[in-house]
Structure 1
Amino acid sequence: MFTLLALLAATAADPLAGTWRNAADSVRIRVAPCRGEPGMCGTVVSASDRAKADAAAAGTDRLVGTPLFRGFERDEDGAWAGTVFVPDIGSEVAGTLHLEGRDTLVAEGCLFAGFGCKEQRWTRVAAR
């Protein structure tokens, strides 16, 4: 019981926690403390048929339930660093997350040592 209460308190206190949608609202993720590993994770909770088809074409058969963000931990500058799974290419890349205000989450992933970087903005749908 104490562990559940601690988890709920940590979730409520973390500004990343909540449900977020991408710009096209084709994918929604829930960001919460990771289960079984340190940091924050973002797991797909809904996806459009097209997003599911694009992911399946790259080898991700079940997009809903797939963690896109894993092991994100906050650094001293206020940014989070971890791993981003890109279902469209079926690969994991090093990534960062940061908030712009309370309701915009900016995710950036780079293919290799700062090269081939891409940014995606997520809008808060609901706080957890």
Structure 2
Amino acid sequence: MRALLPLSLGLFAVSFAAAPARAADAFGVWRHPDNGSLVRTYECGGGLCAKVIKVRDPSRKDVHNPNPDLRSRSIEGIVIMNGARKTDANTWEGQLYNTRDGKTYSGVITLKSPQKLELEGCVLGGLFCKGVTWTRVR
């Protein structure tokens, strides 16, 4: 029993030390609060990418896309963020595509907590911004 104590304390220390790295992990599956769609964030080219993996209405199309050839594609499968660059411990900056209006915005993505990812898209050099907070699903 006495021999197990150092092992137990060692395992506890290792798990405690690993917790901050896990908390800073923005990769996973997130739920949009307004429409319930699911988005997977993942590493791509050294940056952060995001793809819509599930929407409530799978027949929904990218009708507002500025490219007429893409307006008939499904919202599911669209990459809405491609290669956002890490600018701070829990912050990335990049371009965010909004399927609701077909526009691409300069964006800041911030991991607020292990369960909350905040996205803020801006126009006119940051003069007008709008944000949303996604909740982690897994």
The alignment's TM-score, normalised by the length of structure 2, stands at 0.71
Q: Structure 2 CA distance, aligned partners of 1:114 and 1:43?
A: 24
1:77 Cα offset (Å): 5.5
The alignment's TM-score, normalised by the length of structure 1, stands at 0.76
- Structure 2, unaligned runs of 5 or more: 1-20, 66-70
Q: Structure 2 CA distance, aligned partners of 1:118 and 1:91?
A: 13
- Runs of 4+ with >6 A deviation: none
Alignment correspondent of 1:110: 122
- Structure 1, unaligned runs of 5 or more: 1-11
The AA in structure 2 aligned to 1:40 is: L
Alignment correspondent of 1:96: 108
- Which of 42, 55, 79 lines up with 1:47 in the alignment? 55
1:116 Cα offset (Å): 2.4
Measured on the aligned residues, the alpha-carbon RMSD in Å equals: 2.2
Larger strand share, 1 or 2 = 1
The AA in structure 1 aligned to 2:27 is: A
1:110 Cα offset (Å): 0.5
Aligned length: 111
**Structure number, greater radius of gyration:** 2
Percent identity over the alignment is 25
1:65 Cα offset (Å): 0.8
1:56 Cα offset (Å): 3.2
